[in-house]
Amino acid sequence: MRMRFVLLASLSVMTIHAIEPYGIPDPLVMENGKPVREAAQWPARRAETLALFESGVYGKSPALPPWEQCQAETLFDKEAFAGKGRLREVIIHFPPSGTPPLHLLIAYPKTGKPVPSFVGLNFMGNHAAIADSQVRLSPAWIPSRGVGVVDNRATEAARGTDAASWPFALAIERGYAMATLYHGDIDPDRPDWKEGVHAAFFAAGQMEPGAGEWAGLAAWAWALRIAGSYLMAQPEFDPRRVCLMGHSRNGKTALWAGAQDERFALVVSNQSGCGGAALSRAGRGEQLADINTRFPHWFTSRFHAYNGKEAELPVDQHQLLALIAPRPVLVCSAEEDLWADPQGEFEACVAASPVYRLLGTDGFGATALPPLGELVRTTIGYHIRPGKHAVTAEDWKVFLDFADARLLK
Ligand code: GCU
């Protein structure tokens, strides 16, 4: 057992004083203690790492429905953004019957060539991402903190209230499509298993996911992957350059979707923190007991058993980043967002680097937290900006710079 754990401080290139010796699992040692020394041995380690996250953290999802079994209907597709791009909304049905359909909102440039794209979940409904009366007002449950939300339902006043998080015109200007869907479409963000996608998979009499079965974040990740399938099947979007982006709880979700699904070219985690990019063992910011108490529906019940016992976790979050290897992953933090533990997010990048290097990439190029506003552009990227927990147009410029650097080479 001891063989499998490394002191982070013993990892090769880094400023030792910046990293504490947490005793996180070594991503390159098999569960049976055998070291992974060659790229050819990684798929086996990858498979067992993925299984550990499935069984102990997010819960195992049903197989993703093949795109041929899904149905997409375009609700509208019109010129927008002062003639520079188009705005489309589609409804996507997927098996089994009884599952709630997804609504995907896509802004894209008119280049005549397949464009790279970003897809991410939103917190408040597609109607909040842009002030446009044609976008469907989500009828789903919406958190009461949303502007224009009355009795947990959207009203007309909610249109465009989350537009600052979705700078569609910027993406278009930069040659990218930007797509978003509401996570509450597939599973409302509350501890209720009756109204979301899970119920369609329950056995007779089952009331909640069993231990090790998918919980809330995993269902959202599943929806993101279906949205990815849609983009990959359309001629306007380059199937080899579909990127995932998520902020906060949606950032945890984007990482889990990208870890499972190798079709995605690149993943951006914005301030995903606990259960996302931050090391659980670091012990700063949000702890497992905090997250599992406030959001009991996000992770599999097995994850709750590690509340206050982070040292016993079979995996830590650097291994989630490592599952994305060798594809580019960008971890973004905000200086004042201590709840998401910027240092722990940075350390996860350091600790995932050996896997990326084994697979022939440049890994992670920083040895200490970079200055505010300076983008680390290696295959594992990192950025920390001044300010608080949020995703803004300034953040999107960083995501697009990173994607340009990694995908347009
Ligand atoms: C809470 C939660 C975090 C989460 C965040 C968000 O703060 O504790 O884990 O990332 O909400 O999604 O905004």
How confident is the chain (409 residues) per 10-residue block, as mean pLDDT?
Answer: 42 40 93 97 98 98 97 98 97 94 98 97 98 97 95 98 98 98 97 94 96 98 98 98 98 99 98 98 97 98 98 98 98 98 98 98 96 98 98 98 93
Strands 237-247 and 266-270: parallel
Known catalytic residue: 55?
no
Name every residue whose Cβ is closer than 8 Å to that of residue 299 and which is 6 or more positions away in sequence: 57, 58, 59, 215, 216, 217, 275, 291, 292
**Atom 7, ligand 1: residue with shortest CA distance:** 339
Which of 249, 284, 317 is the best mutation target for the ligand 1 pocket, counting ligand atoms within 8 Å of the beta carbon and taking the most?
249
Which of 123, 284, 339 is the best mutation target for the ligand 1 pocket, counting ligand atoms within 8 Å of the beta carbon and taking the most?
339
User: What pLDDT sits at residue 254?
Assistant: 99
Interior CA angle at 340 toward 339 and 342, to 5°? 115
Q: State pLDDT tens for residues 3-35.
A: 344 444 433 333 333 446 799 999 999 999 999
234-247 burial code (b ≥16 CB/10 A, e <16): bebbbbebbbbbbb
Q: How far is the CA of 339 from the centre of ligand 1 (A)?
A: 8
Q: Which atom of ligand 1 is nearest to the CA of 271?
A: 10
Q: State pLDDT tens for residues 345-376.
A: 999 999 999 999 999 999 999 999 999 999 99
CB 296 within 8 A of CB 304: yes
d(CA 117, CA 33): 40
What sign does the dihedral 185-188-194-197 (CA atoms) show?
Answer: positive
Map residue 180 onto helix, strand or coil. Answer: strand
Domains of the chain: 47-123+162-407 (3.40.50.1820)
User: What pLDDT sits at residue 362?
Assistant: 98
Q: How far is CA 116 from the centre of its chain?
A: 18
Q: How far is CA 345 from the centre of its chain?
A: 14
**Pocket of ligand 1 contains residue 124 by CB under 6 Å:** no
Q: How far is the CA of 134 from the centre of ligand 1 (A)?
A: 30
**Pocket of ligand 1 contains residue 341 by CB under 6 Å:** no
Q: Tell me the backbone φ, ψ of residue 323, rounded to 5 degrees.
A: -65, -20
220 burial type by CB count under 10 A (0-12 exposed, 13-18 middle, 19+ buried): buried
**Pocket of ligand 1 contains residue 248 by CB under 6 Å:** yes
Which of 58, 248, 317, 345 is the best mutation target for the ligand 1 pocket, counting ligand atoms within 8 Å of the beta carbon and taking the most?
248
Ordered DSSP codes for 352-381: HHHHHHHTTS--B--SSPPPTTPPB-SSEE
Q: Which of 117, 248, 269, 272 is catalytic?
A: 248
Q: How far is the CA of 251 from the centre of ligand 1 (A)?
A: 10
Q: Across the chain, how many H-helices and E-strands are there?
A: 11, 11
The torsion angle over the Cα atoms of residues 47, 259, 175 and 169, rounded to 10 degrees, is: 170
What sign does the dihedral 280-282-288-291 (CA atoms) show?
Answer: negative
Share of the chain above pLDDT 70, in %: 95
d(CA 376, CA 366): 7
| Backbone Cα Rg of the chain | 20
Consecutive H or E run containing 249? helix 249-260
Report pTM.
0.96
User: What pLDDT sits at residue 28?
Assistant: 97
**Atom 12, ligand 1: residue with shortest CA distance:** 249
**Pocket of ligand 1 contains residue 249 by CB under 6 Å:** yes
Q: How far is the CA of 167 from the centre of ligand 1 (A)?
A: 22
**Pocket of ligand 1 contains residue 334 by CB under 6 Å:** no
User: What pLDDT sits at residue 409?
Assistant: 67
**Pocket of ligand 1 contains residue 286 by CB under 6 Å:** yes
**Pocket of ligand 1 contains residue 274 by CB under 6 Å:** yes
User: What pLDDT sits at residue 408?
Assistant: 86
User: What pLDDT sits at residue 98?
Assistant: 86
Consecutive H or E run containing 382? strand 380-385
Known catalytic residue: 229?
no
User: What pLDDT sits at residue 20?
Assistant: 60
Q: How far is the CA of 249 from the centre of ligand 1 (A)?
A: 6
Q: How far is the CA of 235 from the centre of ligand 1 (A)?
A: 36
Closest CA to 74 of 159, 117, 134, 124: 134
